[in-house]
Chains A and B, each alone.
Chain A
Amino acid sequence: MPLPLLPTSLVGSYAQPDWLIDRKNLAGRFPPRVRAKELWRVAPEWLAQAQDDATLLAIRDQERAGLDIVTDGEMRRESYSNRFATALEGVDIDNPGTALDRSGHPNPVPRVAGKVRRKHPVEVEDVKFLRANTSRTIKITVPGPFTMSQQAQNDFYKDEEEMALDYAAAVNAEIKDLFAAGADIVQIDEPYMQARPEKARQYGLKAFNAALGGVKGTTAVHICFGYAAVIHVRPEGYSFLPEFSGSPIQQISIETAQSGLDCSVLEKLPGKTVILGVLDLSDMKVETPEKVAERIRRALKYVPAERIVVAPDCGMKYLPRDVAFGKMCAMVEGTKIVRKELGAA
């Protein structure tokens, strides 16, 4: 399906409904890295159907708001990463380990007790469901190899790089399957590249690029400063970003709204499409379309409109659904203003 100038899209997740997951509990803890089945509010025998239904509603909300690129809203996930990370071989689920979260607090994480390997496709059914239920361009997200290696306790590998490369092989196989199942765009979520820039430079980027080996199809990466609901302070700039210019990744999703990012950094990503965060997810007030337009214009000084996708700063998982829907609508309206100014409406 051909996309308009300045196509609009979610980063990945959409507000999960209260009836499906215990949002209060979810909001009061770090994003789960190990399974947290107790969060679900539907009996195990009907959970899959309820997750499908929540996914349908997430799709319809995105369509109604007028998004050009549609995700599955990650309704089936407790967090963006734990569903994939806990489905792998080599991970001891029953005896979790501990790792420091990006806030510096210890959080239970998968304990790597053997060689990390993908046992079976994890999100392929999700992408098939998404493909079957919308005719728009679709995007699906997978957690990145570097981030997963940081959200794990290594009790097996001699060095972290080796572990990250095995995570990369698992992600690589998944990405190829996702494209084969009908994905138009696959996005790798690598927020920890921003949280741990030294290690990201040491071996993270190598693992990340390995995950893209032999992949055909449009790929994106998302990096951010952490969920607004969990991480409250924001730096003004990314500690890891220009490094992606040498990677085969095509699209880079960054947050600019809440952080008031100096968009001149985008000049250091020539040739990349920028998935531009224009919705502040720490603010429960819905932006005006004019505010959204202004945030898009801020980036136009450094990136041509042809290389911009308009998006929220990050996943909308933690937002109340009416706020999330309102913000999506504002995003679409704001984008229309700029398209018109550019004579592309």
Chain B
Amino acid sequence: MSALPLLPTALVGSYPQPDWLIDRERLSKQVPRVVANLWLPGPNELEAKQDEATLLAIRDQESVGLDIVTDGEQRRESYSNRFATALDGVDLVNHGTTLNRSGKPIPVPRIAGKIARRRPVEVRDMKFLRANTKRVTKMTVPGPFTMAKQAQDNFYKDEAAMALDYAAAVNAEIKDLFAAGADIVQIDEPWMQQHPEKARQYGLKTLERALDGVTGTIAIHLCFGYAAVVHDKPSGYSFLPELEGTKVHQVSIEAAQPNLDLRVLRDLPSKTIILGVISLADMTVETPEIVAARIRKAFDHVPPERIVVAPDCGMKYLPRDVAFGKMRAMVEGAAVVRRELGR
């Protein structure tokens, strides 16, 4: 891993997909948990176009000056459905139903057998990312707890047992991603915030299983849902201090849009904070000074050495020019603070 500066900048994971790749109009309606067939290119040219969109996402991040680069999740309809629908035990024909975080019924994978990872899912993506940038790389995988909540269980009759099998699948994937050259692997567990009781009951144990025997830098992302979909946000997390006792190294939280009370970060004294300083609900690009102010606010509770500067969440739903502008503001804002700190 090449050396990172103080206050390194990074995306959470996703970057906007081009209009020629995916039907963004339909994409914006609902976050898919099952295969949604939103792609515009035919099956013969889909992979080439996804590769090209990924190159674009990488070059945009590089040219703006991000220190840590992701593949922008260009090959995914949602952060979770590509991995979740690639597993054994999932009935891809007859979907199940669950309530999403807004309380609406949505189609989800129906679990009809034992969950197991048939094959690596994101390893080609990781190799592509590694081959196309020299910067520090991060790859995201959906978390086992979130996938378990986004499924209808017709097999286990025991949520915790199902989540543990998801965790075994994620564990194998994480090890393969590091072997393929990932510098950081991030587990996306937004539903831990949505279901804090269950997260405490068995989510932590599930996370522990997913990280069993893993060496390498691990991040976890928790949020209140996409700004484009979830509009009212609480000002505090219902589940966060619990992560202090886990093996994850970095915790990604949204702080800008909810104007989070950052005192909660004192409960994570050993963790690096991936600090959300870009609001994805507001299509106005932040000034570097606003970004700088949001970074400084965290210093009362976390030293700069333990902060990675990031947007609140994935940028998937933003217009690309807005996303690019926000990335630039983020990089410039971080530079302002670095200068103040004499670095």
Contacts and interface: CB of A to CB of B under 8 A. Distances in A.
Contact of B59 (A20, A50, A57): A57
Contacts of A47: 20
A42 B18 CA distance: 12
A18 B45 CA distance: 9
Question: Do most interface residues of chain B lie in helix, strand or loop, or is the interface mixed?
Answer: helix
A41 B40 CA distance: 11
B56 interface: yes
A90 interface: no
B55 interface: yes
Interface of B: 18-20, 40-41, 45, 48-49, 52-53, 55-56, 59-60, 62-63
B45 A49 contact: no
A53 B63 contact: no
Contacts of B41: 19
B56 A43 contact: no
Interface string A19-52: 1100000000000000000000111001101100
Contact of A60 (B20, B40, B63): B63
A56 interface: yes
A266 B77 CA distance: 57
Given A56-B60, A57-B52, A60-B59, 6 more contacts: A19-B41, A19-B48, A20-B52, A53-B52, A54-B52, A57-B59
A53 B59 CA distance: 11
A50 B63 contact: no
A18 to B, nearest CB: 6
For the complex of A and B, the 9 pairs showing the least CB-CB separation, nearest first, are: A46-B20, A60-B59, A50-B20, A19-B48, A19-B49, A42-B20, A46-B19, A19-B52, A53-B56
Contact of B20 (A18, A43, A56, A57): A43
Interface residues of A, number: 16
A17 interface: yes
Nearest to A42: B20
27 contacts: A17-B52, A18-B45, A18-B48, A19-B41, A19-B48, A19-B49, A20-B52, A43-B20, A43-B40, A46-B18, A46-B20, A46-B40, A47-B20, A49-B18, A49-B19, A50-B18, A50-B20, A53-B18, A53-B20, A53-B52, A53-B56, A54-B52, A56-B56, A56-B60, A57-B52, A57-B56, A60-B63
A57 B59 CA distance: 8
Question: Do most interface residues of chain A lie in helix, strand or loop, or is the interface mixed?
Answer: helix
A319 B338 CA distance: 44
Nearest to A133: B63
Scoring B18, B20, B49 by chain A CB atoms within 10 A of each residue's CB, the highest score goes to B20
B336 to A, nearest CB: 21
Interface string A135-167: 000000000000000000000000000000000
A299 B52 CA distance: 38
Interface string A170-209: 0000000000000000000000000000000000000000
Contacts of A56: 56, 59-60
Contact of A49 (B20, B49, B55, B63): B20
Contacts of A60: 59, 62-63
A17 B40 CA distance: 17
Contacts of B62: 60
Scoring A18, A46, A53, A56 by chain B CB atoms within 10 A of each residue's CB, the highest score goes to A53
Nearest to B46: A19
Interface string A39-81: 0011100110110011011001000000000000000000000
A60 B56 CA distance: 9
A49 B16 CA distance: 13
B55 to A, nearest CB: 6
A47 B40 CA distance: 12
A257 B334 CA distance: 48
A41 B45 contact: yes
A57 B51 CA distance: 12
Contacts of A50: 18, 20
Contacts of B52: 17, 19-20, 53-54, 57
A20 B41 CA distance: 11
